[in-house]
């Protein structure tokens, strides 16, 4: 029987997950198919229910805007519950929902051989920002500043930071940023462009969740400042390691996942 998996989002055609997972199938000689599915929010429940009831389907990767809704489709692991968002649904008699972005960021950070960040500034306050905060707690971070376009909407993220035992502060995007070990951006590149130089100058390391096209304004500013820069490809590869294992029971490496993503971007002319 041909096994199946895929990524669901709105949109999903841009996703690099098919390239990563298919490369893993090829490496292991697995007869699996993996496709991208654009599904609007009001069609998500029947889409998942149909596949969850099909024994050929192992599960789904979940991307925006469905990560919060993913919690409705199975028993959530602890990172998913803490973040309030999941990116992997594993089908079966007892469907489970996982957030592999959290260990994925830790894996991406360690793959670069970087020292643990004691202080960080996180731009944005959505699901990816919450995942990064949880990952930072695991890396030993002690202080996190949330940089928000609307500080009034950052309260839930601040509560999570404090619940994890970390010191929290909130700053308006555009205000001066104190020096930190990490500046992590989770909002669109266009929104950071006017502030890219000051953000890059404040961090020992910069992470920008955006990777297509790369470099982003923040990535260019980091290069000009001589600052180490990670991007969304690092997070994508890092989270795919656990996700691939959860769906198939087989292992892949961070480097293999990142290489597969880079090859696909080059094929698209985006690198």
CB 35 within 8 A of CB 48: no
The phi and psi torsions of 122 (rounded to 5 degrees) equal -115, 120
Contacts of 250 (CB under 8 A, 6+ apart): 24, 28, 30, 244
**59 φψ region: left (φ > 0), alpha (ψ -120 to 50), beta (else):** left
Two structure tokens written together for 247: 């769906």
Average pLDDT of every residue of the chain: 96
* Global pTM value: 0.95
Q: Is the C-alpha dihedral spanning 228, 233, 235, 237 positive or negative?
A: negative
Instruction: Report which secondary-structure segment, H or E, holds 231.
Output: strand 228-231
Residuewise pLDDT in 10s, the chain (271 residues): 899 999 999 999 999 999 999 999 999 999 999 999 999 999 999 999 999 999 999 999 999 999 999 999 999 999 999 999 999 999 998 999 999 999 999 999 999 999 999 999 999 999 999 999 999 999 999 999 999 999 999 999 999 999 999 999 999 999 999 999 999 999 999 999 999 999 999 999 999 999 888 899 999 999 999 999 999 999 999 999 999 999 999 999 999 999 999 999 999 987 7
Choose the catalytic residue: 67, 130, 195, 258: 67
Q: How far apart, in whole angstroms, are the C-alpha atoms of residue 248 and residue 219?
A: 34
Q: Is 116 a catalytic residue?
A: no
């Amino acid at each position: 029987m041909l096994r199946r998996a895929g990524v669901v989002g709105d949109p999903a055609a841009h996703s690099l997950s098919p390239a990563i997972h298919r490369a893993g199938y090829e490496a292991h000689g697995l007869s699996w198919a993996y496709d991208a599915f654009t599904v609007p929010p009001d069609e998500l429940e029947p889409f998942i229910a149909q596949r969850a009831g099909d024994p050929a389907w192992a599960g789904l990767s979940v991307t925006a805007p469905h990560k919060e809704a993913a919690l409705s489709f199975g028993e959530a692991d602890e990172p998913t519950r803490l973040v309030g968002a999941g990116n992997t649904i594993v089908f079966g008699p007892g469907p489970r929902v996982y957030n592999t972005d959290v260990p994925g960021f830790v894996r991406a950070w360690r793959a670069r051989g970087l020292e643990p960040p004691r202080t960080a500034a996180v731009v944005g306050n959505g699901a990816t920002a919450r995942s990064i905060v949880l990952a930072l707690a695991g890396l030993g971070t002690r202080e996190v500043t949330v940089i928000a376009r609307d500080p009034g909407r950052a309260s839930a993220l601040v509560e999570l930071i404090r619940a994890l035992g970390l010191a929290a502060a909130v700053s308006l995007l555009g205000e001066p940023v104190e020096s930190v070990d990490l500046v992590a951006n989770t909002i669109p590149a266009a929104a950071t462009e006017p502030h890219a130089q000051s953000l890059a100058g404040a961090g020992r390391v910069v992470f920008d969740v955006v990777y297509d096209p790369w470099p982003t304004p923040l990535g260019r500013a980091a290069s000009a400042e001589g600052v180490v820069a990670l991007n969304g490809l690092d997070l994508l590869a890092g989270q795919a390691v656990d996700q691939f294992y959860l769906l198939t029971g087989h292992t892949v490496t961070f480097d293999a996942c990142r290489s597969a993503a880079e090859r696909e971007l080059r094929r698209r002319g985006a690198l």
